[in-house]
């Protein structure tokens, strides 16, 4: 993302839209797809733009971030270590005590139902911690 875009008055959602367009390849399509799944799973999700260009989705706290790298789209769940993952979607950052991540590589498909279940579980966890 160009530095100038981060200094405009664009909303976080507009900045995420711009990132998806800027990528223009499988990473942009993947980021757009997981974003849609997140919104389906948690319609009240808040989109944020943090740390100089990282899309963040929150409900009662951070659910996950969506970073893009040359060979992967990394979805890092802030409290992933506390979530059940029966479908074994987490495949990265497994050694930590807090976060867990899903790295999606070119040509891979994500189990949509399992991913949405993780999103809902993360939102529920955030809500239970806020009380």
Cα 21 to Cα 82: distance, rounded to the nearest angstrom? 33
**Mean pLDDT across the stretch 28-44?**
97
Domain range 9-130, CATH class: alpha beta
Domain ranges of the chain: 9-130
Question: What six digits make up the tokens of 67?
Answer: 């970073």
For residue 36, name the pLDDT band (cuts at 50, 70, 90). very high
- Residue closest to 34 by CA, chosen among 76, 82, 75, 90: 75
Q: Which of 4-13, 48-57, 66-75, 76-85 has the lowest mean pLDDT?
A: 4-13
Question: What pLDDT sits at residue 4?
Answer: 39
**Mean pLDDT across the stretch 64-72?**
96
């Amino acid at each position: 993302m160009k530095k100038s875009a981060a200094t405009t008055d664009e909303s976080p959602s507009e900045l995420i839209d711009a990132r998806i367009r800027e990528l223009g390849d499988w990473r942009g399509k993947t980021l757009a797809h997981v974003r849609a799944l997140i919104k389906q799973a948690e319609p009240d999700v808040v989109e944020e733009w943090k740390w100089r260009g990282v899309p963040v989705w929150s409900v009662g706290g951070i659910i996950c971030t969506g970073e893009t790298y040359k060979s992967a789209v990394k979805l890092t769940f802030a409290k992933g270590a506390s979530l059940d993952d029966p479908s074994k979607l987490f495949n990265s950052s497994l050694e930590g005590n807090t976060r867990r991540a899903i790295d999606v590589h070119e040509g891979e498909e994500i189990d949509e139902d399992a991913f949405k279940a993780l999103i809902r579980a993360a939102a529920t966890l955030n809500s239970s911690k806020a009380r």
